[in-house]
Amino acid sequence: MIKKLAVVTGGAGFIGSHMVDLLLKKGYRVNVIDNLLGGNSTNIQHLKDNPDFSFEKRDIRSYEANDPFFKGAKYVFHFAGIGDIVPSIEKPLEYMSINVQGTVHMLECAKAAGVKKFVYAASSSCYGKAEVPTKENHPISTLYPYALSKYLGEQAAFHWKDVYKLPVNSVRIFNAYGTRSRTTGAYGAVFGVFLKQKIEKAPFTVVGDGTQSRDFLYVTDVAKAFLAAAETDKVGEVYNLGAGNPQTVNKLVDLLGGEVKYLPKRPGEPDCTYANISKITSELNWKPEVTFEEGVGKMLEVIDYWKEAPLWDKEAIKKATKVWFEVLS
């Protein structure tokens, strides 16, 4: 029997690589697209001899409809794109090109291949400083180009559903964390910053007073939610994805253990992100499985993964976030 084929864009990245592992475990063949600009080739190194795994190092904008890499695909999981707030303020054209036009190229490929489901990795940043817990019908408030680009990509996906009848679902990720999270690039994700600081026995740089909370969801739970969004008969749905159990930055610091230095609170950042996950749990029969304590423990077990990550201190962070304060204040 021929195994079902799935295409994962950004499949060498943080979430994408875990998506690939889950699909292979579930008996799928998987075609992966990634430009490897994030320096993340090690995330898929263990798959190079797997006969059900194929890889193309390409920019998603280079694909046109009827590309053979999509032929016979049942599902497309679209994670490819660029993130972070400050770089998006500095380079909005790049964000619009990759996150919007790149998505359109993937939609065209999926449409031509006749896929059964296109699952878009959206961002909860589209809600801005939202009321919590945040439902899917919350008003949209895109406060910076990254948020806008991800939301416009989502809108393009639903446009392809309406006009071309492409089966689409979108999953708005709140705060994913876990092994293989980014080690390079701009100042951003708190786990990469803190784990490198722990390796170097440097103080943790906590923004504000540390009481701000984030709806952290472990990456393997994220992948399972995306598979559920593909395998469901439902089409045209948006699902908020978090643990539904926000954790404070101070709690994270306590679990990691170490000295703390506090930095000025940043404008435009919510005090709390908190996904209302009642829709995804009821409609897709999905629920979080990995506790926050378990997830942090899993990361500490492989902490050397972040040994080459940049070490951020107070002055470096101040310089890196200067534009943030200028634009969002």
The answer to whether 5-176+218-241 and 178-215+244-274+290-328 have equal CATH topology is no
Taking the chain, what is the end-to-end CA distance rounded to the nearest angstrom?
59
- Mean pLDDT score across all residues of the chain: 95
The lowest-confidence range among 35-49, 115-129, 132-146 is 35-49
Average pLDDT over residues 85-113: 97
Which residue from 144, 91, 100, 94 is spatially nearest to 122, judged by alpha carbons?
100
pLDDT of res. 188: 61
Torsion angle in degrees (nearest 10) through CA of 8, 14, 17, 19 = -70
Average pLDDT over residues 230-234: 98
pLDDT tops 70 at residue 91 = yes
- Other Cβ atoms within 10 Å of 100 Cβ, number: 19
- pLDDT over 70, % of the chain: 99
Which residue from 182, 174, 162, 172 is spatially nearest to 119, judged by alpha carbons?
172
Q: Helix (H, G, I), strand (E, B), or coil: what is residue 209?
A: coil
Residue 126: pLDDT band with limits 50, 70, 90: very high
Q: Helix (H, G, I), strand (E, B), or coil: what is residue 175?
A: strand
pLDDT tops 70 at residue 328 = yes
Residue 187: pLDDT band with limits 50, 70, 90: low
The verdict on pTM exceeding 0.95 is yes
Given 2.20.25.10, 3.40.50.150, 3.40.50.720, 3.30.830.10, which CATH number is that of 5-176+218-241? 3.40.50.720
- Domain boundaries defined on the chain: 5-176+218-241, 178-215+244-274+290-328
pLDDT of res. 185: 65
pLDDT of res. 19: 98
Average pLDDT over residues 164-181: 97
162: exposed, middle or buried (C-beta count within 10 Å: 0-12, 13-18, 19+)? exposed
Residue 183: pLDDT band with limits 50, 70, 90: confident
φ/ψ of residue 163, rounded to 5? -85, -45
Told to judge if 146 belongs to the known catalytic residues of this protein, a careful annotator would answer yes
pLDDT of res. 320: 84
Find the largest Cα–Cα distance for the chain. Answer: 59
**CATH node for 178-215+244-274+290-328:** 3.90.25.10
User: Catalytic residue among 146, 177, 187, 239, which?
Assistant: 146
pLDDT of res. 51: 97
